[in-house]
Structure formats: C-alpha cells, structure tokens
C-alpha cells in the first residue's frame, strides 16, 4: 500500500505534505467564506464542490507533471511564449471584464486568466536563458538583455489590466536574475530605471486618474447595470485603470485618525470588514465556519481569505499558513541546491518565489500593510485557472525534486564504491 502511494506521489515528500495541508485549509476556509455565493446560487454545496473539483484536477495535473522529467520543460518554452502573447493580446481587446478590468477569456463556457500562464512562462524562459549563459564569473551580460526582451513586453501587457500581478512578476524576475548571478551593475541600472518609472507612473496616475469616480461600494447593482457603457479610445483604454489605481493609492496614503462614530463602512467596505474580522478573532479565533465578516466581505473567499482565516483560526492558524509558505520556499531552496544543472535549480526557485511573493502580498493586504492589490492566496483562495496552474507549478517543483534526489543518491553511491 505504502509502495503504491509512493509510486503515485513521487518527489519531495515535504513539498507534498505542504501542498495537501494548504489544500485542506483551502477547502475548510473557502466553504466557510462562500456564504455570498451560496446565497446567490441558492445551493450551499455547489460552490465548494466546484472548488474541490478544481483542487482534484489541479492535484492530478501536479501528479502528471511530477512524472515528466524537467529537461522536457524546455521544449514547451517557445510554444508557451507564443500562447502567452496571443492570449494576453486577446484578453486586452476582447476579454471578459472583471471589476472593470479585462482579465479573463471565455472558451466553451469556462474562463481562464492568460496572466497565470504568462507568469510561469516568464520564469521558465528566464531559467532557460540563465542556465544556458552561465560562466565561471556569473551570467553572461547578454543574458540580461534576452530576459528583458522576452519578459518586459509580456509584463507590460499584464500591467495594463492587472498592475499588481505585473509588479509581483517583475519582482520575481528580478530576484531570479540576482540568484542567477546577473552582473550587479546591470541590476543596479535596472533598479534605478524602475525607481524613475514608478515615480513617473505615480505622478501620471495622479494627473490622469479621477478617484471621485470610484465609489463602487455605494453604487447599487441596478445603477451599475443601468449605467451606459462609454466607448473608449486607444488612450483611454491604456489608462482606464488609472482611476482605480489612484483611488487605492490615496486611500492607503490617507492615514488620518477617524473617530469610530464617523467611520463610513460603506465607503471602504473591503478593508474595513477585513480589519473587523482580524480584531474580532480574539487571538484564538472563533473556530472554522463561525466567521461573521464573511457575509460582508465581497471577496472573502478570494482576495481577503487570509482575514477570514485569522478570524476563524486565530493567530495560530494565521502563523501556520505563513509557516507553510516559508517551508515551501526553504525546502525548494534545498532542492535547488542539490541540482547538478542550473536550469532545474533556477526553475524551481523561480516558481517557489513567485508563489511565496504572491502569498505575502495577499497577507499584507489583508492586514492593511499595503494597498489593496486583488491578489488571491495561492493554493488557498477559491479560483479556477489560478488554482489549477498553481498546482502545475507545484508539480514542476516536484519534478525537479525527483531529478535532484536521484542525482544525490547516485553521487552518494559512487562515493561509497570509491571508498570500498
């Protein structure tokens, strides 16, 4: 029996354990936090069944990818780059709108986010470039140029509709270049240019954006549907998210103390109810399924699920989730350290950093440290495409762990034979 299970769940057992625990937490908390969905569908079991199905499909894909030798991932790079660019352009001009942004494509009644595919594609391409252009002194200077040529246009297309995803992806790309020993002078110049670009972007958002238009919490569904859609020109399409970005920046920057009786819950309901959820946890939590704020948080099962975890599971539960992501990162680093080849090492580290950075962003938003970004909590938040693709990333890490483990055993056996 144990041998059969071992044949199915190959690769690093610690990564598998972390994966399964995150999935169990996801099932419990999504079921608890989906009260709005159950009310709308008039079916309390259907939302969690759909999410469970996504996790099962994702787990199956993880098992399949685990059994694919990581050297074959290189063959998929050109195809994935082409698919990423085509789908990103498609979603930009003909995608389905979610919260005012074109982020998903609908095919056969199912929706998927091209940005989720693009994230893994950039990490895969970067790992391949860094591994192919390594020298004794570090990565060749041309590697930096090739990485930017492939990645920056893709990140720009993502950023038009989903700025937070673009920033997190760029951060992961930058850290992987640092690990891949790209010359510090090139990274320094890139940092300087990015600082100037961010500064110019914030100023442009403040000039172009109009946060007075963003009052979604006070707009009824009837008003939202009845409001006619205005055709936008090319410039307006490029900067149509500026209003939202300006509103989020200004809300976060406004740190004025407000008396409790003067606070308007309807004006910034998401952040307000997330704070109430955290404070009302009373450290030990209310217990799974006993959340109150889930009924007031529109994205309780997605962007703000960490606040619900704190409310129900307390500080201990919140710390457990953080600890699981830390284990994932450090365990992956250990796997990368065992790799003889650079490509699998860079690939698994890039994927792990991407998952952990996104998780950190979600948690920081939930506790009010950074502005609202709209990032789900990987492997925990309810999702379709994102859940399945995140499972695929775990499968790729496990595939690398299989190769690294075999090579370590081979080296150990060789040393023992030499001693004899």
The answer for residues whose C-beta is within 8 angstroms of residue 281's C-beta and 6 or more apart is 310, 311, 312, 314, 315
Residues 6+ apart with CB under 8 A from 406: none
* Owner of token pair 């975890």: 309
Containing 153, the helix (H) or strand (E) segment is: helix 141-161
Interatomic CA distance for residues 103 and 96, integer angstroms: 6
Of 321, 386, 390, 387, the C-alpha closest to 360 is 321
pTM of the entire predicted model: 0.83
Strands of 40-154, DSSP E: 96-98, 101-107, 110-112, 134-135, 138-139
Q: What share of the chain is helix, strand, coil (3-state, %, to 5)?
A: 70, 5, 25
Would you state the pLDDT for residue 105?
76
CA distances (Å), origin 212, targets 169, 223, 250, 335: 30, 17, 11, 50
- Give the domain extent around 305: 2-419
Contacts of 304 (CB under 8 A, 6+ apart): 270, 273, 274, 277, 297, 365, 366
In this structure, what DSSP letter does residue 95 have? P
Q: What is the pLDDT of residue 228?
A: 43
Alpha helices in 180-304 (DSSP H): 184-208, 221-226, 234-238, 242-253, 269-279
DSSP-derived pairing of the beta strands 138-139 and 134-135: antiparallel
The pairing of beta strand 101-107 with beta strand 96-98: antiparallel
pLDDT of residue 150: 92
**Rg of the chain (C-alpha set):** 23
Q: How far apart are CA 345 and CA 151, in angstroms?
A: 20
Contacts of 272 (CB under 8 A, 6+ apart): 263, 265
Task: Per-residue pLDDT tens, the chain, 420 aa: give them.
Answer: 555 555 677 888 999 999 999 999 999 988 888 776 665 666 667 778 888 899 999 999 999 999 998 888 999 999 999 999 998 888 888 767 665 556 677 766 667 788 889 999 999 999 999 999 988 888 899 999 999 999 999 999 888 878 888 889 999 999 999 999 999 999 999 999 888 887 877 777 667 666 555 544 443 333 333 344 455 544 455 555 666 656 666 666 665 655 555 555 666 667 777 878 888 888 788 888 888 887 777 777 888 888 889 988 889 999 999 999 999 999 999 999 988 889 999 999 999 999 999 999 999 988 888 777 778 899 998 877 888 999 999 999 999 998 775 555 444 444 444 444
Question: What's the structural domain count of the chain?
Answer: 1
Measured distance CA(37)–CA(281) in Å, rounded: 23
Measure the CA–CA gap between 371 and 245, rounded to whole angstroms.
10
């Amino acid at each position: 029996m144990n041998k059969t299970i071992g044949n199915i769940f190959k690769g690093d057992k610690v990564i598998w354990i972390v994966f399964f625990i995150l999935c169990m937490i996801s099932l419990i908390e999504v079921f608890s936090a989906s009260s709005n969905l159950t009310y709308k569908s008039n079916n309390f079991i259907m939302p969690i069944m759909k999410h469970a199905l996504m996790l099962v499909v994702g787990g199956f894909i993880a098992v399949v990818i685990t059994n694919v030798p990581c050297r074959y991932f290189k063959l998929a790079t050109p195809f994935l780059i082409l698919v990423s660019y085509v789908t990103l352009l498609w979603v930009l001009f003909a995608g389905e709108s979610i919260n005012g942004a074109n982020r998903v494509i609908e095919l056969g009644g199912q929706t998927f986010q091209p940005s989720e595919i693009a994230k893994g594609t950039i990490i895969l391409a970067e790992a391949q470039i860094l591994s192919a252009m390594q020298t004794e002194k570090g990565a060749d200077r041309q590697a930096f140029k090739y990485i930017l040529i492939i990645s920056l246009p893709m990140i720009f297309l993502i950023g038009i509709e989903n700025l937070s995803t673009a920033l997190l992806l760029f951060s992961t790309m930058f850290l992987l270049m640092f690990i891949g020993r790209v010359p510090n002078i090139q990274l320094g110049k890139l940092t300087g240019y990015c600082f100037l670009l961010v500064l110019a972007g914030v100023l442009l958002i403040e000039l172009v954006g109009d946060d007075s238009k963003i009052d979604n919490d006070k707009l009824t569904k009837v008003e939202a549907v009845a409001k006619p859609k205005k055709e936008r020109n090319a410039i307006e399409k490029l900067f149509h998210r500026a209003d939202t970005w300006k509103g989020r920046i200004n809300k976060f920057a406004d740190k004025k103390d407000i008396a409790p009786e003067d606070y308007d819950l309807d004006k910034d309901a998401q952040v307000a109810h997330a704070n109430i959820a955290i404070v009302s946890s009373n450290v030990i939590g209310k217990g799974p399924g006993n959340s109150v704020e889930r009924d007031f948080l529109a994205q309780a099962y997605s962007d703000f699920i960490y606040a619900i975890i704190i409310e129900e599971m307390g500080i201990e539960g919140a710390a457990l989730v953080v600890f699981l992501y830390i284990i994932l990162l450090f365990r992956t680093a250990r796997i990368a350290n065992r790799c003889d080849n650079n490509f699998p090492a860079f690939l698994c580290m890039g994927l792990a950093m991407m998952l952990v950075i996104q998780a950190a962003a979600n948690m920081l938003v939930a506790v009010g440290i950074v502005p609202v970004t709209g990032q789900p909590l990987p492997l925990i938040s309810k999702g379709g495409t994102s859940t399945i693709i995140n499972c695929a990333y775990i499968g790729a890490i496990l595939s690398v762990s299989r190769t690294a483990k075999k090579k370590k055993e081979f080296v150990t056996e060789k040393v023992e034979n030499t001693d004899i």
